[in-house]
Structure 1
Amino acid sequence: MKVCNHKGLSVVIMLRDEHCPPHAHVEAGTWSARFRFSFWHNGVELWDVVPLSRRPSLAVLEGLRQSLQQPAHLRRARGIWWRKLQTACLDNQLWDWQSNEVVVVKRVVSTTNMIGSACYEPESNKTLLSLIGTQESVEIEL
């Protein structure tokens, strides 16, 4: 499903056989790219381009990334992903209360709790995290 366009290229969320992490696709004939997005922050990053030998200019890739990162486009991408897959791809990751972020650590520290489940609310553009081992939950306004 189309999220947005940038200079004649469509940024889309595929609706078949998708998998985590959340990402959007750009198919350009001679190359394709994927851009990762998140349900806990508003950043977008280039994930990969194939084949690498046909990679477009950095300006094209950056333009696509910036287009997807526009608030309305990112919200649309999240809504499409959530409605189709019913996952924010955050379950069983660690939330750090001190830094307010999902962290990758080798050991659990006193400021982290494992995310038991995550729910995205497209209407309010919020993600709700239920954390294991605490009665508190986290509400992230995006």
Structure 2
Amino acid sequence: MAGTIFSHGVIKVFIAAEDHPPPHVHAHHPSEGWTARFRFSFLSDITGLYRFKRRQFRPTIGTLNDLADAIMQHLPACREEWWNTHGPQNGIGLINQRIETRAIPTGDKLIARVPLKPDRNMAGITAASYNSRNGKVSLSLSDGQKLLLTAGQHIDEAKEW
């Protein structure tokens, strides 16, 4: 287990050293004996319950919702810890995904979307990295484009949300 990112009451939220994409955190309640995993994105500001295991008690829906809210509040720290723990070996879960972009007048000057059902003609992501100092995601695409995107301002569709 890597270090605790934050605590929510007695629940410790962390990234496990042996994890693999998609990016996610573990939330462990020691006395009730359950661990929930919440997936998060480097492109969009979204998180969702991924899975949970129980040994004794089940977490309540209210507890899981509170945890999802807390993870959203700590999303920059979760992204940073994921990148520091897994980034160089496992990336940020975007390699081999297809991406579409559309020009917009504000922010990054484009909106990027990783669709759940991509069109085969969309460019593929060949390399992805994250800079926690400036909150930027760098993407290299199969068509030669290089994108520098602000984390949380784009769209990452996934069936697990």
TM-score (normalizing by structure 2): 0.77
Secondary structure at 2:22 match in 1: coil
Task: Give the match for residue 68 of structure 2.
Answer: 65
Matches within 5 A, 1:1-142: 1-15=3-17, 17-29=18-30, 30-51=33-54, 54-70=57-73, 73-86=74-87, 87-98=91-102, 100-105=112-117, 107-109=119-121, 112-134=122-144, 136-142=145-151
* C-alpha distance in structure 1 between counterparts of 2:49 and 2:117, whole Å: 23
Q: 1:53: how far off?
A: 7.9
**Kept in 2: contact 1:130–1:138 (CA 8 A):** yes
Q: How many residue pairs were aligned?
A: 136
Runs of 4+ aligned structure 1 residues displaced above 4 Å come to none
Distance 1:42 1:85 in 2: 20
Give structure 1 stretches of 5+ with no counterpart: none
Cα distance, 1:63 vs structure 2: 0.7
RMSD: 1.8
Of the structure 1 ranges 97-106 and 82-91, higher mean CA displacement relative to structure 2 is found in: 97-106
The Cα of 1:27 is off from its aligned counterpart by 1.6
Structure 2: gaps of 5 or more residues: 103-110, 152-161
Q: TM-score under structure 1 normalisation?
A: 0.87
C-alpha deviation, 1:48, in angstroms: 1.1
